[in-house]
Structure 1
Amino acid sequence: MNIRIGSRGSALALAQTNNIAQALSDLGHETKLIIVQTAGDLDQDRCFSEIGPAGVFVREIETAILDDEIDLAVHSYKDLPSQGPEGLVVAAIPERLTPEDCLIMRDDGQPDRSPSGLKLEIDLRLKKNAVVGTSSERRRALLRSLRPDLQIVPIRGNVPTRLAKLHEGQYDAIVLAAAGLIRLGHQQKASALNLGRFVNLRLDPTIFVPAPAQGALALQCREGDRVIDAVAPLHDVSASGPVRAERELLRLVDGGCSLPFGAWCRRVDGGDLELMSVLESDGVLVRKSGRAENPDKLAAVLWAKLSHTLPETPTDGTSLEA
């Protein structure tokens, strides 16, 4: 089968797409890569909330699928809005990589330490009033809760560009998804990223709660298309339950507010799912968690807990995570 795969042109997007293309090739399919420029790629200056509604990295790609210009898209699942356009489906979720965020810092020559917790580690590593780059409202809120003194400023560009800005001294630290660094590292020579220049601190997801579906990919295509059968072998059942719980909670939260939000789900002893969430309301972080076997039921339980903490203000429909 010949499959036209759409991708953004960034190094990370191409690394992800090339991995899927190789997997499909191993299954006997022929693939063709088609680069699609998105609003988020074309506008490198403004914050995501200023560019437009949710989906700044996916809208043009979804349009290309619907217009039969491509057959399949490989998305970072966290970039997809909670509600997709009619006529499209997520046909498969491949194996998920680690969901954590990383705090990447310039190496100041400090000796290694063995701190007892995430806040202490950040206290030891970052100077007072350090400048930290992130364009995510979720990351901004979580950093503020750990270190109110930090100067948190926007940063745009692909991963290599952000690392270059950090190396040049524009920032003392930046926050990136660990999965993106892993995928880029697998596709590029170590010298391309040169992470040895920096201190890389993995942020505990039970405290620094990731974006819903962070670390997961979404393979999107047209409803009823034969591509669904082609990508079925790439679907990872073990990843789909936790991701579904996170995405369902995102859908419920998206319909009720537009606040910084994170969700992370994992399997625990006995096979149940444990879902953790964090939401900033009126400058206060609200953390809720719960356990259940069914991902949809678990998300509903968490939303019931979260919704009681929210101010009664109308939603503007904007995205909760950038």
Structure 2
Amino acid sequence: MATTGKRTIVVGTRQSALALTQTGQVIDQLKAICESHGLDYTFEIHKIVTKGDQIIDVTLSKVGGKGLFVKEIEQALLDGTIDLAVHSMKDMPYELPGGLINGAVPKRVDPRDCLVSKDGQDLAGLPPGAKVGTSSLRRAAQIKAYRPDLTLESVRGNIDSRIRKLETEGFDAIILATAGLKRMDWDNRITAYIPEDVCIPAVGQGALGIECREADAEVRELLALLNDEDTAYAVEAERSFLGALNGGCQVPLGAHAVLKQAQDGTRTLELSGMVGTPDGSTLLKEIQQGSDPVELGRSVAAALRARGADDILKQYGGAHGA
């Protein structure tokens, strides 16, 4: 890969502490790639406020619309203000604007949800009626199904502000994505991991999506060196599932694909998918295996539709994977 001269690549990101941390980590990886491949690029961070960052006093499902945390950043890409964008993959809608592509999916961090509790209990150990905070319909529905006695209440804001609300707003526990805490080196705050058989993660949870302009050959070639094939393979199945269900904002939805390596070296995926009602009274789950990620995602979605997901989607109007 050759460059025509020194270029400063402008990297767009949200301005939360987590977004800036994971963007810095991606830039560090890109710098290492440049050094090992003799590439002459420098990197500059450009902070962008999204609609999802501005509206923090209501739940995401009530804000409505897709791409709450990416639209303004994508516009900056289209305008040429930035050259690539670092997103949490679970924030990215299935369909990207024309002219933009997902240029890389770096190696995934732990995709599970986790519990941060005030008194050190795990999910099973919380007292009856305990007040649990989450910003996600997907988490709330699955936790209600597992522990219908708990009181689930909305909690929005950055990771640190949500953790502070354990004390300031009387929560007994809050549920967060493990990956965010790990990226911030806050593993010690995790009280317990929530197993997937209790709470299937969001589509793409734990992974990042590095978006760029389709026509920018230099950046695309650079990002190809950052891409982790195994992570991209798994995430493609999850996103195919999301696309097949037309994932929006009003219905709990989750999917997680795990790579299975056969003895003969062939790769397959095991994809777990979930669609439910917001109150957790109905949770439809399906697990299938396959080698084609796009077809696997569609197949799991079709199986759930046949078992009643269509009725749920029609009643509540779209799916919410956060």
TM-score strictly above 0.5: yes
For 1:236 and 1:106, the matched residues in 2 are separated by 36
Instruction: Return the match for 2:232 from 235, 240, 243.
Output: 240
Q: What are the residue-to-residue correspondences of 1:23-62 with 2, within 5 Å?
A: 23-26=29-32, 27=34, 28=39, 29-62=41-74
Aligned residue type for 1:10: S
- Quote the offset at 1:50 in angstroms: 3.0
Matches within 5 A, 1:203-222: 203-222=194-213
Counterparts in 2 of 1:245 and 1:266: CA distance versus 1, 3 Å = same
**Residues 1:311 and 1:250: Cα distance change in structure 2 (over 3 Å):** closer
Question: In structure 2, what residue type is equivalent to 1:310?
Answer: A
Structure 2 residue identity aligned to 1:321: G
The one-letter amino acid of 2:208's match is L
Q: Identity of counterpart residues, as a percentage?
A: 37
Distance in structure 2 (CA, Å) of the matches to 1:47 and 1:165? 16
SS in 2 for 1:96: coil
Q: Note the C-alpha offset of 1:321.
A: 2.3
TM-score relative to the length of structure 2: 0.88
Question: C-alpha displacement at 1:49, in angstroms?
Answer: 2.6
Question: Which one of the candidate residues 8, 11, 14 is aligned to 1:8?
Answer: 14
- Whichever residue aligns with residue 123 of structure 1, its letter is A
Change (3 A) 1:228 1:163: same
- 1:277 is matched with which residue: 264, 273, 280? 273
Where do 4+ consecutive residues of structure 1 move more than 6 Å? none
Q: Contact (CA 8 Å) 2:109, 2:179: kept in 1 or not? A: yes
| Aligned residue identity for 1:97 | V
SS at match of 1:260: strand
User: For residues 143-158 of structure 1, what are the structure 2 equivalents within 5 Å?
Assistant: 143-158=143-158
Cα distance, 1:269 vs structure 2: 4.4
What is the root-mean-square deviation in Å for CA atoms of aligned residues?
2.1
Match of 1:272, SS?
A: strand
> 1:304 aligned to 2:299?
no
1:230 shift after superposition: 1.6
Number of residue pairs matched by the alignment: 301
Post-superposition Cα deviations, 1:95-123, rounded to whole Å, max 9, x if no partner, equal 11110000110125x7xxxxxxxxxx522
Map 1:1-322 onto structure 2 (within 5 A).
Answer: 1-26=7-32, 27=34, 28=39, 29-107=41-119, 122-124=123-125, 126-168=126-168, 170-185=170-185, 196=188, 200-225=191-216, 226-254=218-246, 258-270=250-262, 271-281=267-277, 283-308=281-306, 309-312=308-311, 314=314, 318=318, 320-322=320-322
**Judging changes above 3 Å, is the alpha-carbon distance between structure 1 residues 306 and 256 closer, same or farther for their aligned structure 2 residues?**
farther
Deviation string 1:33-78 (CA, Å, 9 cap, x unpaired) is 0000111111221222333411111110001100111010000000
Normalising to structure 1: TM-score of the pair?
0.88
- Residue 149 of structure 2: SS of its match in structure 1? coil
